[in-house]
Amino acid sequence: MPISHPPTAGRALWVTAHPRAESLNGRLFREGVEALSTRFEVATSDLYAQGFDPVLGDGDLGDLAGVPGNLAAQAGESYAAGQLPPEVYAEQAKLAAAELLILQFPLWWYGPPAILKGWFDRVLTDRFAYGDLDPELGVPRRYGDGGLTGRRALVVVTAGEDERSIGPRGISGDLESLLFPLTHGVLWYTGIETLDLHVVYDADDVDPARVELEVKRLRERLLLLEDEKPRRFRALRDGDYRGTRALRADIAPGRTDLGIHFGDSP
């Protein structure tokens, strides 16, 4: 079973991934942390400023470095043995304490920057963020029942395209589907519920007035964040995927879109 990490009420972690402090993302990060700090104790992880190494490798495996085997399982063993690098343990400690996680990044090639993906690779280890079988149900403690349950996440993303081209019928595909690997495959996998995305469209060309508007919009949303309800995905342990991990045929019959994995999908 995974180690449980009950969050601390009133604690938050803001993770940001942009290389330029003077950018729109940099401004949103500073303003957002300031606004959130009126109600939370906010820890931050500015991945570029920290020089965070995103590459999972033998340095994360302790005594198992160079030993053939499942890399993810070995990283979990390294975590349990106290052999992860100090910078990884430091990130895990900030995340374990937080009841609210903010992930902020620009959309690059339809996903987060590599440094944030590497943060997931190195920080969300087996035995910390997810674990083995539920002894009662015989299903993995994942997809709504991971090691990080009891937390909510807000994804703040800047996109160069306009709302139509990255919308439901847009040429780029809709943003919720593009970020499904993050909201479902990373966050929900480890038990973290997500709030509606906070998106800044047309972010490649913003004038000073628009910057101030986006700062105001973010600050206003953060003030009301506790009142928001997360949109819950279906949990593996609920039985909707009984037997195969494919959604039961009687639920959303005939559909194959990603929306079927939301708990309110008919």
Task: Give per-residue pLDDT as tens, 174-188.
Answer: 999 999 999 999 999
pLDDT tens-digit series, residues 193-242: 999 999 999 898 889 999 999 999 999 999 999 999 998 899 988 889 87
pLDDT (average), residues 230-258: 88
Residue 92 has pLDDT above 80, yes or no: yes
Among 152-156, 253-257, 262-266, name the one with the lowest average pLDDT. Answer: 262-266
Backbone angle region of 66, left / alpha / beta, with phi > 0 → left and psi within -120 to 50 → alpha:
left
In total, the chain counts a number of residues equal to: 266
- Rg (Cα) of the chain, in Å, rounded? 19
Domain chopping of the chain, boundaries: 11-261
Among 17-31, 43-57, 134-148, name the one with the lowest average pLDDT. Answer: 134-148
Contact present, 118 and 52 (Cβ < 8 Å)? yes
Residue 247's pLDDT band (cuts 50, 70, 90): very high
pLDDT (average), residues 15-25: 95
Mean residue pLDDT across the chain = 92
Cα 252–chain centre separation: 26
Q: How far apart are the first and last CA of the chain?
A: 32
* Fold of the domain spanning 11-261: Rossmann fold (3.40.50)
Cα 209–chain centre separation: 30
State the amino acid at position 186 in one-letter form: V
Q: What is the pLDDT of residue 137?
A: 66
* Two tokens, residue 248: 């039961």
Which of these, 49, 114, 50, lies nearest to 88 by C-alpha position? 50
